[in-house]
Structures are given as structure tokens and as C-alpha cells.
Structure 1
């Protein structure tokens, strides 16, 4: 009996040598944990994860792979969790701690020191465990060696990387790492004794014969791997499972497990219920529609299409900007989740800004969704700047309390939305039930990287919503398609949203998800708009054509010479009676040039700049100010009488803003249409009567082009960003309107013209191109195809393979991967094909050496002194961290970026690199002088609150 009165079956069944094998050690406290104890802890956690945390959607997939269904699947999970560390019962591992190795030696296990085993790195304990388990299954239970791999690889990969065939061969060539020569039988006896005990105690012993002939799909192998990793991380936490000899009454199960699970407090998953009622009733309940308001046709049809599908699968919703696609997707997600057994939802967006904008809407939806866990639901904002989002910070405190009608009756219950302390960070955050974040989190699903199985587990239990699907290039689409293939194999429901999706891309998405390349001609041929496409693997895809909502706008479009004097003169005329104009430039340099000239003409206070080259805190404040001034009328924005916003693409998708006049650089036609979505976005008075009289007709002036050239030539910066081929196609489909003289001929009718323009622009047909453009267009097309091929091939370097046939093990699954890839710049660069760039923290340093934050920062963060002789206080360090800035493209080139890093490292503050400064340790800091200037790598830098960072090459 144990000290708490509970029997300890593991101790009772093991001989002293097996009890002496150690698994955990803390050098600071000299605490330790025997292997048998960690095995029991891990098995217990694995069972609790299955019973109380894992969504039904995941359990069903794993159950389908096993002879006895869910009972077998649960048993397999607990058994693999139990045996995952058997490789620690080897001399290669045990010799790391002399005192604990002495204990094993005293019990008959000859254990050389690490120095006596120079090749120990060839048998890390995960791989060693895979080989030991393989030998045990073949010698004790009659398995073929080939049959063992699909399960033993789970043990081998529990530290995030599955072994390769070459690694297995190398370890097999060094048997002394698994069992000491001359003492082999003693080691073998202990290893098999522990495995026998694990099989008996978990109940797996009675099922091993039945499992021998099972062919487990790679999807199930991945999920098994992820569950073992998760259980191991929990069972390895000494705050939850204390080490010996100070474990006290928490030394043995079941009290030890029960108390650990209570302390962990892992929130249960969402248990969605099938939403009842008409779409109108459902939308009214979820989104608090005002009296008399009804869902738009595309929203109603999306719900009906989801209900009509034979099983949850893929839905693509194409509809105009402002039609409520997001609300439609969340409602469809609820239908899908109830039918699939999903335990959560992830919404993926192109940028951090769009993710932040979505997060508040997502929380509002969650506040009205039934089926929430009894006490708390876990939420995660999945991007690297989440610590700057006030809504997310609130979840990290006490959370947001919801008063829900959980059971559909009159009884109310309280649930909190929380950012759970254990479900945070780059590796574990996506395991939260509900998440909003950048699309990178989804693209990583197809990137060979360490701990990839955890990301697969995180997404396999959710409904996935992908917004702005048109916003990705060939490189990103390669990863998106592979992610969709795996999601389709998992049976994960997916909703994809776009206002401007090329028909060929629609077909590619369906093919990727279903795994069926042929049979989708009708999907690509559909030309209706709005359009809903649904697909389930093995079933012919269906296309639904919702009726238009009747909302729309006629936008007059005309060319404008790319001359700052011309721009200024035109805006003076257009804004003579007041009004708010948006000028979108494709590069920051063009923003600065235009803003400077317009300020000379209109005054400093009449022109605002918005782009990505601001400090994080300043950019967040800029976005908030734009929405406050130019947001929907029902928010009562403080709209200026006359103002000009000069911005880059940051306003293209991320902000709900509304302007009277639009001037835009030429861009791909789908993005031009997106930009038009910021023009007369909301009604202001009857027939826009609240706008100045000259601006009551929506007008878009297209600039950034030399209109006198043949063909018209986009400016260099635009060609660099988008490529000349795509821009020429955009010009070709808009040409008749840009060359027209009558208003009727210059009109782009939204939404009626969206799909025809996009489909024509991205078609292979060159009939729209004037003959005089032929030579230039052919050169541009060739360059475009070469660039696409290069992007596709580059993406394939680290692209995860498609799921293999059932039974094929995950050996070498992520071989030659990128290592640790997460939501850092390095990780994002892998899936976005971005050049290496340099992010720095920025502070002001006075002539006397005093360092402070910038004086204008909000919420008392401005002008805070940052000590240089010691680590800054936590709050000051967080403010500095929130003053991050990405240096411009000039600093992406090899010699320049290397020189910049060298100069920044030379200027490092030693006290800021200590463990006490963990918030900022390792970060590069750019110090500006009292005029907010600095010289770096041959460039003059100047930062202002109004314009952000300007960089000019030093003469």
C-alpha cells in the first residue's frame, strides 16, 4: 500500500532493477522520477485526454482504424503513452546522471558513463524506444518487423521528429547503446519487464494479437504521435507530477493523476448542437440582427447547402465584399461541427491586421453559440503580435464571462472564454478549441517541420474557415493545397471565402480537398456570382447559385496620369466641397512622396498616412483611428469634413472603412475590386445624400501607370510586387472602361462585374489583349510562368508528402525539413516565400545615454525610462517589445542585412540579454537619437509618428 492508502500496482509487479530505472531528473533540486512512475503518469494522462478533451471528430477517425473501434483506439492511445519513454531504459540514456546510474548499477544494470559511449547520439531515447518496442513485439507477440513500424514510429517520434530509415539502421549497428555488452540479458529483462507491465496494466496485452494485422492510416499515426507528445508534456511537468523524493502523498496514482488533472484545468472542447430553425432565425440568434433585418440570400443559401450535404466537407463561398460571408461561414461552421463532432473552430486570414479585426467579431459569435463547456472554453489569437491585442490580453486575465442558455431551455449557465495558461505559445496555442490567426498557421500543416503532428492534432478537431482565399500567391497556394489534402483525409470540414476567386483556382481547391483531380469540369465552368460550391470526397461536387441581394454600387473608373501635380490638382477639385479621399499606393516610398506633396497643398492636418512601416503600437493606433473616423455610420464615426488618407495595401482588406473618393495605383484586377470595396462601402443618407454633392457618385481614379506607352506601363514598384503579366491582364480587362468617354461605358457595376472581370483576367485566353501589346505581353507571360514554376519548386523543397496508403509508417515523415518552424519570421518566410527581413525593437536614446520609450505611446507607456544597467521592469520591457518595426526592403539583401545585424549587435545592451530580461533577450534594438534619427548599414533612418520610418541611402 502507498502512504495515501491506495495500492501501487506498478511497484508490486516489478523487480528492483526495473524500479531503479530513472526517467526524469532536476539538477537544481536533485529530484528524480523512476521510469515506471512516468509510464503510469503518461498512460493516465493519455486516458484523460481521450475521455475528457479529445473531440469526437478525432476519436471517430482513430476508431475507424482499429478492429474494435473506439475501445481499441482509446486503449492504443493509453498504451503508447505508457511505453513512449521505454528508450530511457538503456545505457545510452541512463549514464547521463551518475548518481542515478549508480542506483541502476547497484541493481545489476551495467551502465557506462556518457564519455564511454561516444556514439550515444545515434540512439536518442525516442529512437531507442522504437527499436526496443519493435523487438518486444516481434519476439514476444509474433509481429512481423514490418507490421511493428506503424506503431513503433509513434514512440520514435515523440520528440517531434520521426526517425528515418537511415537513422534506424545506424542505431541497429550499435547494439551497445541499447544493452551493455556482457550485460545484455539484464537490460533486456528490464526492458521487457517494463513493457510486459505496461501491456498488462493498460489492458493492451489482450489486444496485441488483434492489432497485429491492422493497417493504420497515416492520419491516425499522426494523431497518435501528437497525443503521445501532449501526454508526455503534461506528465513531465513537475508542478503537476512532482518528482521524488518530495512528491509526498502525490507520489502514486490515482490521487497523483486526479490532482494533476485538476491543477492543469484543461478546458473541455466545444460540444456543438445541430442548430435548428430557419436561417433567418439562426442569424437573428447568433448575430443580434436589428428588428426587421433578414439574412442576405448568400447567407441563407450557405446554411441550406450545408444542411443538404451528405456529410460535412468543403464549402467555397464566393460573394461580393460586404455581403456577410464571415457570418455565413461561422453559421455553416456550427452546422458542420454538430454533424462532424468537431470541438472547435479556426478562422485563417491573410494578415495580422485582418486577424485582429476578425478576433472581436469571432468573440461576439462565441458569446451566442450553444454547446460551450461548463466552466471555460479556450481561445487563442494565433499570430506573433497577439500580446498587443487588448481583447486577447483580457482573455489572459480573468477571461470573458458568458451567460449562456446551454441546454436550450430556461436554465442559464456561466462559461468563460479564456486564453488558458497551458494552451498558449507557438507549439501548443493552436490546441485551444477556438482560434483566429494568420493563414500561416494553416499553411504550416503542409510544411515539414518539428512537432508538425501537434498542428495536425490541433486542426483535425476543428472546423477550418479560410478567408480572403484569393490573396495568396503560387508559393502559398502550394502549401494551402497540401494542407487541404490532409484536412480532407482527416474529414475536417472547411469553409473557404472569397470575393474574387478565379474559376481555375476554385477547381484546384476542390481537387486538393477531395484528393480527386478529375471530374470537376463543371466546378471550373460555373460563372454565376454569388456562387456556393460544396464537395465531399467520393461525391460529385455541387454548385449552388444564390440570388443577388440587390446591394451594389456603380463605380465610375478613369485613368489618372502618374504625376503628383496632377494628383494634387484633381483632389483640390474633387474635394472643393469637402469629402474624404483614399489614395492607395503600392509601395511605402510612393506613399511618402504623395503625402509630402499633398500636405504642401492641403496642410499637415488634412493628410494621414497608413502603411506597415510603423511601430506595432503606432500601427494599431493608426488602424483604430481610421475605423473611428471612416467606419460604418452606425458606429457614429467622427468623420472629418475634408481629409485625405494615403495608404498602402494595409487598407485593402483589414479595415471596415468607407471613403467618398478612391485613387489607386494599378493592381491585379481582383485587388482593384477589393479596393473599390472601400469606396461608398456604406450608405450615407438617402442616395448618399450625406456625402458632398460632387462625390455622391462612386468614382475610382487609376494611376501608377504611364498611359502614353504601348502597352501602358505600370510603375516599377508595382511591377516588382505584382509582376507585369498580371498587371497587363488587369489593364486588358479594364481597358474598355478606362478608354471610354461616356459615364455608362466607364462604369464598373458591383457586384455584377466582379466575376466576369476576375475570370477574364485570370483566363489563359489572350483575345482581350490588343495586337500592339503582343510582344510585351508574351515577354511578361513567360516571366510570369517562370516565376510561378520557381515558386512552386521552391515550395516543394519542404512540402509535406500526401498521405500514403494505410499501414505505411511515418518513418522519415518530415525528413530534411526546416526544423522548428512556427509563427516567427523564419517560419512565415517558408510558407510565404518572403525575403529574409529584419525586425528590430526601437527606442529613443538621449545624448546623456538615457533610453526611453517614445513619448507619444498610449496608455501611460510613453516616455518610460528603460534602464541599461539592469533588466527593464516587465511592463517597460513589454512596451519595448510592442515597439517593434520591420526594416524596409533595402535591408533584405545579403550584404546590407549582415552589416545591419553586425552594427545592431555591437550596440546591444548587455543587461538586456540576461535571463531576467526574458521579454527582450535576444532581440535587436535600434536606438534613435532625440530627433528620432539613426544611421544603419549605409542608410539614414528617420521615424516620425505621422509618417513612420523613412530610409534613404547615405551619399
Structure 2
């Protein structure tokens, strides 16, 4: 047997002689192998099924639009490129790697040097690049294409290992033809084998008749990306030996039988196929969301649905509306309409933090369970951040969806896959699919909730970027809290939006406090330079987007069209907030709260640094008692922080959900964690001075809900909404914010915030009217016009210069690894991610690539007992506390998961060069080899911080103390 598969048909039937000896896959353990023709056929079959049963309609339509034969051409091209993607393996530079398989080929006349004889030159011909060159030569020499014409097709096999080649790499290979065909008598044999494979592929897959028409095609770069990603998927699936066993075991199966067995074993969930919801807005919201009795759809929600239905084509919609106005529900309703009208096959919810992602995930599941679906439909779902497996909702979904991916009996009539539990009664079954996991594939799930980093990675030059683009191209993208992203992140976000516009991906952007200039930047980035620069009218209309002060506001942009704005009415919610300056002294704060809480009440005190949170809580506990003061900040164990958030929602959430659990008198001292995505409601707000948009977000936690007629269920003295602003020396000629606030936000943003608040702080102290004043305050604070008293001008100018230098630095650093813009159609993706960042992942280092933050240290916190053994911290509930963590073996799954849930991000002082290096060195002393097992991933690769029996330790010259009540406290020696 020279190549195996004599009983097969298809591509095999067109080949004979030496070509059948060319190999593609080899297993060193079993000595099994796979002929190249077989892997090519497998890959093409997978690509065809992916195209027919997995790729979303909008992606298929985008590819089809670029080709003269429409969708028929698009499918032909996708399958053919998957078939020929590994043609570069039919070269001596690749084939020499396995001696016995190379000898088999030599016996058929395909002479080649040994791997050692090739030397370092062999690395200049990776089989992807070799495949691009061979396919290009075949198109040029046998079909009359130019090199430019062939390059836009050849780049797909060239980039199927995650990085499209660069011009220099192509030149180096062109200069070394011996890597593609061995010189001498065997060169014609190599040429004949390569041509025979490519000819057979063109004939078997019906492409030869279309090559003439395709020669005139100019493939848009987004289409090149999508085809590359589809080929990568097909290659990965076809390379799985569990699904596609190696020879000689498979000799008895036809290609169709082999593919049918593999597809059943994979059981990949199809894309979402939504139908635009019928009925009026009230009916849509009643059927999709768990609305309180008597609740009415708000004007912003109604306007968003109406605008989505009226747009000529789905595009970008920016929804600006007050806090608590139901923007998330509006976004999901718009997403369903956009998906139905565009053919998108899923939704991506991008949120600022892991905590907000965790909070959104159950809301996503609730919405999915209410969506209509065909009987037996399955939808793949993902929580996308590095600690998703610790989320109970997602962990439960993974357990229910557990799947062993293996090839199945070809005679089976039903898939091997079965959910482990049949708990959900949703119209569509929700699954966390086994194959759609891992940093490179997970985003391919249909429905994703996660951090915005996952979206920003689509603008980062990184390996396998094409897969990320395929993942977002098939979805509706919802970007929440758009005001929360700084200049560095915005550089990436704007570039991603430009690519999303090119893919015609529908996008919904949400914000309560969006500066007008930023609104315009988002709209222009999505619409593209052609629309903006095309005419004076277009430019004027985009300028109008930046000039309006309407609020609430909806802004809609479809690709190639001018923006449209709608100004819905505000709901009846909101009211007057009285703003008052408060002295920075903590005793003054304690005295004021004592007076305000004379008859009870719930107060939120927001500080800009964790240090200020803890210092404030210490003073207030001395005055009010431990039982009346709660702390919330980012330096808690993951599991404790999640419990803190849940506790805040229970005690301070909406009236219908908290019942009688709301305390009579209580003070919550929190950092910025209280700013967003927590539906909590307080009677009085005290806040450090911060940028005005964030201050308004904090005000959104003040009198958030109606508690009785005229707020009559609140304590008598707190029925008027009052916000006390501190963290600044109000007595100096120019207000001086505390040092920690300046370090976090910069002096200019704080001074502008103070300036626009002056009319509400001085004299008669005109209240801030919500929502009426939100846009006016934000636009003035972020505008270019001077503001504030004349005596502040010098300080303002100096602070502005500092801010400009900082933002310029941010923008320049962000551009180092930022993806280029979409180039004109027909230009190959050569060098697309040149000088890139390597792999992009949701590790601390990965997140630092798209956020302007120092790489933070994350540790897993355990406790060292008096006898020296390790255990989980003792206060964990559900029997997880005090579990043994043995040093000589893998801990039990329960103990390992409990320990992993105790992740902690160390504060900023551990992120500086020498301190970080010293801390890592000290932490690495507690390295437990037994915990690094591949079958127990919870603790593998983690830095372990062991606290003593008193929950204390020392690290890099700092003393650390942790308590369930206050989180981590750090003091220098």
C-alpha cells in the first residue's frame, strides 16, 4: 500500500503514482499517518459543512458579494481554499521531517535531503508560506493570473497558521527554490505531484470553470480575513485524530462516511437564526424581559426599537440615557432586530470589567431562555474572561453541556452528544460547547458576555487574529459603559469599529455620560473615512453629532450613510440632587453623617483609592460601630468580592427585591466598584471629587428607586437627594484634590469637574437636575472652551499641558501593536500583523496590551497552618473553607476550585519594576510541582500567596493583612 484509501473515491480517485505517497499528518506514538490528499479532502468536507451549517448568514453574504457568482461562488471558493491550504506540505522542506515517511516518498521518485542536510534554511519554508507560493505559481503559470491577482487568494493558505507572511519572507523563499522542489532529476516529479494535486482539487471541487471569472475579482480585505479564519477552523477540526483517525485504521471508510462520523462526533451548535420580533414595543419587552408588575416601556427603549426597525440597514446605534433607564434591555431588543435583519448569528456583550461581565451573564441567560427557537435548537454560550470557570452560572452550564468529542459509529442515527443534565426548559438549549473553548476558539461561540478586552483584541496585531475577526463578524456587538475607556483603549476601540463597519457588523453602544466629541469619533470610526470625507454635507452631519446637547439621545449610522439622531423624551424618573462641598477632614465627615443618620438611613461613601476607603471605614467604625459600616473595593479575593456584590444587591437593591432586608441605618464605604452595573440605591451620597461623568454615575446610586410617594419611605431628613463632594481642599484659591485622586484621574479632569460643578456648589447651590443636566455638565467638562474662575486659569493651563502629554503618549504607545486600517479591495493581507504582539490572551500580560495599565500581579491566596501544611482560607461557605491542599499530590477537585476562587490582584505598589521582580521571586519559592498537572488546571501556573494563621504575611518589603471584612491591607515596613 503506497498511500492507503484504495477503496475511497472523490479526490483519491483522481490521483495515482507518487502523489499518493505524500504525507500530511503523523503520530509518533502510534506511527499512524495521513496522506496529504486525505487531509485535503477532510478539510474541504469540513469547510463545506461549516459553511452550510455553522457560518452565519451575514458572513456568507459578505463573501458572496465580492464574487461574480454570488453565494455559489463563495461556497466553492471557501471549500477549495480549505482543500488546497496544505499544498505546501508537498515540498521537500516539509516532507523530510519524518524519516520513514520521507523514505516512502523517495521510493516513489520524490528525492529530498534529510532534515539535517537542509539545515537552518528549511525554516524559511513553513508549509503555509510554501503553499501560498505554490498556489500562486499554479494560478500564474497555468491560468494566466498576475501575481497581484493570485496574492489575494494565496494569502489564505499562507496565513492558515495564524500569521500571514510578510514580503521579506516571500522574497527569501523565492531565492531558495530548492526548498520547494529538489533540484536535479526529481524536480519534475515534485512539480508534477504539486500540479497534479492542484489540478485534481480544481476539477473535483468544480473550481476550474470559475478561475477565469475569479481572475478579475478584487477580494476585499475583510473577505480575505474571513476565508482565512474559516480555513483555520476547517484545518483544526480535520486535524483532530479523534474525529479523523489516521491511516491505516480508516482505509475501509469512504470520504462521506468519514466526514459524517466526524461531524456527528463534533456536534457543533449551529448559529442563532433569529426572526424579527413582531408586535409593538410593549409586547416585545413583555415577552423578552422579566418586567416588574405594572412596568411600562420607557421612551428611550421605545425609540431604540423604532429606530432599529426604520434604519435602511443595521449599523451602529449609540444609546445615551440616564443611569437605570433600561439601556441593557433596549440594547438586547435592538440586537435581536439587527440580527434578524442582518443575518448575524449571535451577540457579543462587551463590558468594562470581570465583575460587570459576571453580573451581565445571568441576564444574558435569562434573555436567551425567552427567545423563540426551533424545536431542538442549541445555542453556544460563553462567559469570556480569565476567571469564567469560577462563575457559578457558567460552571453550571459547562457541567450540563459536558461533551466527549470523539468520532462516532458511522451507523449511528443520532449524535453522540447528550447534555449531562436536562434542567433548562428554554426554547433553545444553551450549551458551553467543548470544542469552542480555549483562548483562540472560545469567542466563536454564538453568545458571549465578557470584558471589553475580548473585543479590543480584534484590533491588536496578534496570532490567529483572523479567528477573532470571524467571531465578531458573525455577531451583533453591544459595548456597554462606553465612557469608561481611556485614550489608550479608545485607540484600539476605534480601529475595531472601523473593521466592524467594513464587515457590516451591527453595533450598539451604551453610555449614560458620553462626551460629544467621543460620540462623533465612534460614529466616524464605524462609518469609515469614505463616508466622512466624501462630501461637505457628510462632514457637516458628523459635526452635528458632536454639537447636539440633546439628552437622552440616539445616534444611528449605517455603513456608507449619514448619521441620524433621535431625541426621545426622558422618563419621569430622576429629580433634583443637591450638591454640597464637604471638608476633607474625616472627623467632619463623621460628624455630618451622625447628624444625617439621626433617624436612620443608608449612605454610600465613594473614595478614589483603596487606601482612602480603609482609612475612612476605620474612623466611621469608631463612631458608628462595626455592624453599621461595610467596605467594598477591588482588593478582595474574587470569591469575597462576588459575595460582597451579592450582599449589596440584597440589602440595597430595588424595593421589590430587597424586601425587609434593607438596614435601618448603614454606611457603605466603597471604591469605584460601586460606580457601575450595581443596581443599588442609597439615601445619601458622599463622594470624592472625580471626573464629572463618573460623578454623575455615582449620583445614579442616589435615590435610584422610588421608595414610597415622594420618597416618603426614606428617613424624614433624607427624602431630598443630597450629594456631598469631598476629597479636595475647597478652601484654597484653586481647589486642590487629594494626591491619590490626581494619580488616578489627572489634575485637569478633576479641575474641569470642579469648575462645572461650581454653580451647584456655591451661593444658592442650584440643584443638579437629573437627567436634564447630565449632558450639559459632561459636554462642558469635556469641551474645549475655558471654564471656571479666572483665578484658576494658570492651574488649568498647566494641568491641560500635562494631560495632552499623557494622552499623546497613550496614543503613540497604543499604535505600536494596533492593527492597520482596512485597505482597498484586492490588496493581499501580506504583512497584516507584522511586528505584532504574539498571542493575545486574557492573562494579566494580555490585558495590559489593550489597557494602559501596568502589568498587575495576581495571586491565589491560601492559608498556612501551624504545622506548615496548606489549606483553603477558613471562612469559605458551602464546605469549601479549610480544605487540605496537599503538597505531594494534586488537591481534590473541590479544594482546588475553592482555592482558585481565592484569586487576588495585588495593588499598584506591586506593579513597579524592582518591587514586582522581588515579589515574583519570593512568591515562586512556594512552587508545588504536584499542582502543575495538566488534568488539574485550577492551580497550575498560579502564584501562591500563603497567609499565616492570623491572615498576615510579608512580601517584597511590605506587610500584608487580609480580612473577610476589609479585604487586603498593605503597609510598608
TM-score range, shorter chain: over 0.9
Tell me by how many angstroms 1:920 deviates. 2.1
Q: Which of 629-638 and 753-762 deviates more?
A: 629-638
Which aligned pairs between 1:195-594 and structure 2 lie closer than 5 A?
195-247=198-250, 249=252, 251-371=253-373, 374-398=376-400, 414-515=427-528, 516-517=531-532, 518-519=539-540, 520-594=542-616
Q: Which of 471-480 and 603-612 deviates more?
A: 603-612
Indicate the residue corresponding to 1:773 in structure 2. 792
**Where do 5+ consecutive residues of structure 2 fail to align?**
403-424, 533-538
Tell me by how many angstroms 1:949 deviates. 1.1
**Secondary structure in 2 matching 1:207:** helix
Tell me by how many angstroms 1:659 deviates. 1.0
Q: Is the 8 A contact 1:269 1:373 kept in 2?
A: no
CA spacing shift, 1:509–1:414, aligned 2, 3 Å: closer
Which aligned pairs between 1:135-146 and structure 2 lie closer than 5 A?
135-146=137-148
**Secondary structure in 1 matching 2:589:** helix
The reply to whether residue 75 of structure 1 matches residue 76 of structure 2 is yes
Rounded to whole Å, the distance in 2 between the matches of 1:137 and 1:233 is 26
For residues 510-533 of structure 1, what are the alpha-carbon distances to aligned partners after superposition, in whole Å with 9 as ceiling and x for unaligned? 111101332311111111111111
Tell me by how many angstroms 1:200 deviates. 1.4
CA spacing shift, 1:283–1:5, aligned 2, 3 Å: farther
Rounded to whole Å, the distance in 1 between the matches of 2:175 and 2:590 is 76
For residues 259-313 of structure 1, what are the alpha-carbon distances to aligned partners after superposition, in whole Å with 9 as ceiling and x for unaligned? 1111111111111112211112211221143454321111111111111111111
Rounded to whole Å, the distance in 2 between the matches of 1:917 and 1:435 is 25
Indicate which of 594, 600, 619 corresponds to 1:597: 619
**Secondary structure in 1 matching 2:866:** coil
Q: Is the 8 A contact 1:316 1:495 kept in 2?
A: yes
Rounded to whole Å, the distance in 2 between the matches of 1:900 and 1:894 is 10
Indicate the residue corresponding to 1:186 in structure 2. 189
Rounded to whole Å, the distance in 1 between the matches of 2:866 and 2:134 is 65
For residues 56-92 of structure 1, what are the alpha-carbon distances to aligned partners after superposition, in whole Å with 9 as ceiling and x for unaligned? 1101100011111110010000000001111111121
Indicate which of 876, 883, 889 corresponds to 1:870: 889
Q: Is the 8 A contact 1:215 1:806 kept in 2?
A: yes
Rounded to whole Å, the distance in 2 between the matches of 1:642 and 1:174 is 80
| TM-score computed with the length of structure 1 as normaliser | 0.96
Tell me by how many angstroms 1:124 deviates. 0.9
Rounded to whole Å, the distance in 2 between the matches of 1:526 and 1:606 is 45
Q: Is the 8 A contact 1:287 1:365 kept in 2?
A: yes
CA spacing shift, 1:84–1:15, aligned 2, 3 Å: same
Q: Which of 364-373 and 351-360 deviates more?
A: 364-373
**Secondary structure in 1 matching 2:562:** strand
Which aligned pairs between 1:824-839 and structure 2 lie closer than 5 A?
824-839=843-858
Tell me by how many angstroms 1:7 deviates. 4.3
Indicate the residue corresponding to 2:129 in structure 1. 127
Tell me by how many angstroms 1:917 deviates. 4.1
Tell me by how many angstroms 1:566 deviates. 1.1
Q: Is the 8 A contact 2:370 2:427 kept in 1?
A: no
**Secondary structure in 2 matching 1:23:** strand
Rounded to whole Å, the distance in 1 between the matches of 2:831 and 2:375 is 38
Indicate the residue corresponding to 2:868 in structure 1. 849
**Secondary structure in 1 matching 2:439:** helix
Indicate the residue corresponding to 2:753 in structure 1. 730
Q: Is the 8 A contact 1:580 1:641 kept in 2?
A: yes
Tell me by how many angstroms 1:237 deviates. 0.8
Tell me by how many angstroms 1:9 deviates. 2.8
Indicate which of 907, 928, 931 corresponds to 1:909: 928
**Where do 5+ consecutive residues of structure 1 fail to align?**
401-411
Q: Which of 184-193 and 66-75 deviates more?
A: 184-193
For residues 36-71 of structure 1, what are the alpha-carbon distances to aligned partners after superposition, in whole Å with 9 as ceiling and x for unaligned? 111000000000011011111101100011111110
Indicate the residue corresponding to 2:918 in structure 1. 899
For residues 171-198 of structure 1, what are the alpha-carbon distances to aligned partners after superposition, in whole Å with 9 as ceiling and x for unaligned? 1122222122222222111111111111
Tell me by how many angstroms 1:819 deviates. 0.5
**Secondary structure in 2 matching 1:540:** coil
Tell me by how many angstroms 1:415 deviates. 2.4
Rounded to whole Å, the distance in 2 between the matches of 1:227 and 1:373 is 28
Rounded to whole Å, the distance in 2 between the matches of 1:510 and 1:804 is 19
Rounded to whole Å, the distance in 2 between the matches of 1:911 and 1:396 is 26
Rounded to whole Å, the distance in 2 between the matches of 1:634 and 1:264 is 45
Rounded to whole Å, the distance in 2 between the matches of 1:158 and 1:373 is 36
**Secondary structure in 1 matching 2:920:** helix
Tell me by how many angstroms 1:212 deviates. 1.1
Rounded to whole Å, the distance in 2 between the matches of 1:215 and 1:763 is 43
The reply to whether residue 930 of structure 1 matches residue 949 of structure 2 is yes
Rounded to whole Å, the distance in 2 between the matches of 1:652 and 1:150 is 48
Rounded to whole Å, the distance in 2 between the matches of 1:372 and 1:931 is 57
Q: Is the 8 A contact 1:374 1:413 kept in 2?
A: no
Tell me by how many angstroms 1:709 deviates. 1.7
The reply to whether residue 694 of structure 1 matches residue 696 of structure 2 is no
**Secondary structure in 2 matching 1:816:** coil
Q: Is the 8 A contact 2:152 2:219 kept in 1?
A: yes
Q: Is the 8 A contact 1:559 1:701 kept in 2?
A: yes
Q: Is the 8 A contact 2:401 2:433 kept in 1?
A: no
Q: In angstroms, what is the RMSD of aligned CA positions?
A: 1.8
Q: Is the 8 A contact 2:276 2:336 kept in 1?
A: yes
Tell me by how many angstroms 1:149 deviates. 0.6
Rounded to whole Å, the distance in 1 between the matches of 2:220 and 2:910 is 46
CA spacing shift, 1:27–1:4, aligned 2, 3 Å: closer
Indicate which of 633, 641, 645 corresponds to 2:655: 633
Rounded to whole Å, the distance in 2 between the matches of 1:399 and 1:367 is 16
Q: Is the 8 A contact 1:270 1:373 kept in 2?
A: no
Q: Is the 8 A contact 1:271 1:373 kept in 2?
A: no
For residues 14-39 of structure 1, what are the alpha-carbon distances to aligned partners after superposition, in whole Å with 9 as ceiling and x for unaligned? 12321111111122222211111110
Indicate the residue corresponding to 1:168 in structure 2. 170
The reply to whether residue 721 of structure 1 matches residue 721 of structure 2 is no
Tell me by how many angstroms 1:145 deviates. 1.4
Q: Which of 754-763 and 138-147 deviates more?
A: 138-147
Indicate the residue corresponding to 2:767 in structure 1. 747
For residues 99-148 of structure 1, what are the alpha-carbon distances to aligned partners after superposition, in whole Å with 9 as ceiling and x for unaligned? 22221122221232221111111111111111111111111111111211
Q: Is the 8 A contact 1:316 1:534 kept in 2?
A: yes
Q: Is the 8 A contact 2:374 2:427 kept in 1?
A: no
Tell me by how many angstroms 1:725 deviates. 0.3
Q: Is the 8 A contact 1:607 1:646 kept in 2?
A: yes
Matched residues, number: 938
Q: Is the 8 A contact 2:349 2:448 kept in 1?
A: yes
Q: Is the 8 A contact 1:837 1:891 kept in 2?
A: yes
Rounded to whole Å, the distance in 2 between the matches of 1:370 and 1:907 is 52
For residues 875-921 of structure 1, what are the alpha-carbon distances to aligned partners after superposition, in whole Å with 9 as ceiling and x for unaligned? 32222222111111111111111111111112212222344543322
Which aligned pairs between 1:634-653 and structure 2 lie closer than 5 A?
634-637=656-659, 638-653=661-676
* Misfit runs of 4+, over 6 Å: 1-6
Tell me by how many angstroms 1:639 deviates. 1.3
Rounded to whole Å, the distance in 1 between the matches of 2:183 and 2:251 is 38
Tell me by how many angstroms 1:492 deviates. 0.7
| TM-score computed with the length of structure 2 as normaliser | 0.94
